[in-house]
């Protein structure tokens, strides 16, 4: 009770313009226009701060170590009002979108062709981070890296992965690296010798890699299906990313 009374002293109401700003960042066009995105929960916010992503404003029901400027202690009800989540966390922060760094031509570069599900992109970002892959190239119709659901699913890993949205055809045509692509009709990834410097293309949830991009691949690879029945239609794209990236990394 004491703690509650203490917090109450600093409590302020979120202004209408702040609510409007935060709500607008749901949409990609406003994120692009304002160069801002939203992250929720102390864990994700802390990861982004540690990675040096610049903070714009922070709203929290509790104190937040190390942040003094543009920091607002708010009520649970206020957080609920601005949260994108079904169950609001204790804190919500607005961050500045970092400027795009160029993608360098070494190591593994993961390329996504029209991945649409935010959960899948977030999971792929975590997988890249886990395996030390810091370069991600996305087609223009891939879900936005700063979509709130992507930010939450990537659990702070987005602060360590450099992303570029670009025409894939142009990107691949300019690249000097071998272009491997995950395709159901590809060769067994487990029995290949795999290059260290490589572009790995993964495709859309329903349709895989587009025809146009498939025609540009150096090699098609697949994850072999085991079992007698072989009825599973496909693996989820994030599952495929996990197995394929781990296979390239360990070799």
Which of 116, 160, 169, 220 forms a contact with a copy of itself (CB under 8 A)?
160
Which of 103, 111, 151, 238 forms a contact with a copy of itself (CB under 8 A)?
238
**What burial class does residue 87 get, using C-beta atoms within 10 Å of its C-beta: 0-12 exposed, 13-18 middle, 19+ buried?**
exposed
| Residue 40 binds a copy of itself, judged by CB under 8 A | no
Q: What is the 3-state secondary structure (H, E, C) of 219-243?
A: EEEECCCCCCCCCCCCCCHHHHHHH
| Residue 52 binds a copy of itself, judged by CB under 8 A | no
Which residue, 156 or 186, has its beta carbon nearer to a copy of itself? 156
| CA–CA gap between residue 188 and residue 221 (Å, rounded) | 6
Q: Which residues contact 24 (CB under 8 A, 6 or more apart)?
A: 30, 34
| Residue 132 binds a copy of itself, judged by CB under 8 A | yes
Which residue, 193 or 229, has its beta carbon nearer to a copy of itself? 229
Q: Per-residue x/- marks for a copy of itself, 172-211, CB under 8 A?
A: ------------------x---------------------
| H or E stretch at 33 | helix 28-34
| Residue 27 binds a copy of itself, judged by CB under 8 A | no
Q: What is the 3-state secondary structure (H, E, C) of 154-207?
A: HCCHHHHCEEEECCHHHHHHHCCCCEEEEEEEEEEHHHCCCCCCEEEEECECCC
Size of the site for a copy of itself (CB under 8 A): 36
| Residue 31 binds a copy of itself, judged by CB under 8 A | no
| Residue 222 binds a copy of itself, judged by CB under 8 A | no
How do strand 55-60 and strand 162-165 relate by DSSP bridges? unpaired
Site residues (vs a copy of itself, CB under 8 A): 47, 50, 119, 123, 126-127, 129-134, 155-157, 160, 190, 223-229, 231-233, 235-236, 238-239, 242-243, 246, 249-250
């Amino acid at each position: 009770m004491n703690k509650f009374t203490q917090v109450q002293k600093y409590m302020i109401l979120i202004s209408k313009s702040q609510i409007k700003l935060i709500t607008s960042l749901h949409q990609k066009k406003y994120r692009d226009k304002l160069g801002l995105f939203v992250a929720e929960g102390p864990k994700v916010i802390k990861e982004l701060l540690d990675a040096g992503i610049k903070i714009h404003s922070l709203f929290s029901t509790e104190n937040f170590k190390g942040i003094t400027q543009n920091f607002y202690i708010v009520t649970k009800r206020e957080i609920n009002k601005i949260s994108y989540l079904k169950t609001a966390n204790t804190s919500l922060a607005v961050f500045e979108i970092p400027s795009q760094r160029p993608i360098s031509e070494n190591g593994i570069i993961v390329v996504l062709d029209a991945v649409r599900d935010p959960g899948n992109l977030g999971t792929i970002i975590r997988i890249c981070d886990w395996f030390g892959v810091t370069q991600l190239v996305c087609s223009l119709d891939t879900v936005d890296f700063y979509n709130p659901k992507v930010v939450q699913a990537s659990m702070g890993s987005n602060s360590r992965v450099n992303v570029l949205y670009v025409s894939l055809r142009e990107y691949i045509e300019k690249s000097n690296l071998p272009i491997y692509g995950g395709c159901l009709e590809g060769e067994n990834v487990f029995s290949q010798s795999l290059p260290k410097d490589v572009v790995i293309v993964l495709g859309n949830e329903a349709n895989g890699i587009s025809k146009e991009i498939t025609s540009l691949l150096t090699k098609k690879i697949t994850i072999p299906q085991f079992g007698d029945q072989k009825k599973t239609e496909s693996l989820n794209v994030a599952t495929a990313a996990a197995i394929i990236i781990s296979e390239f990394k360990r070799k």
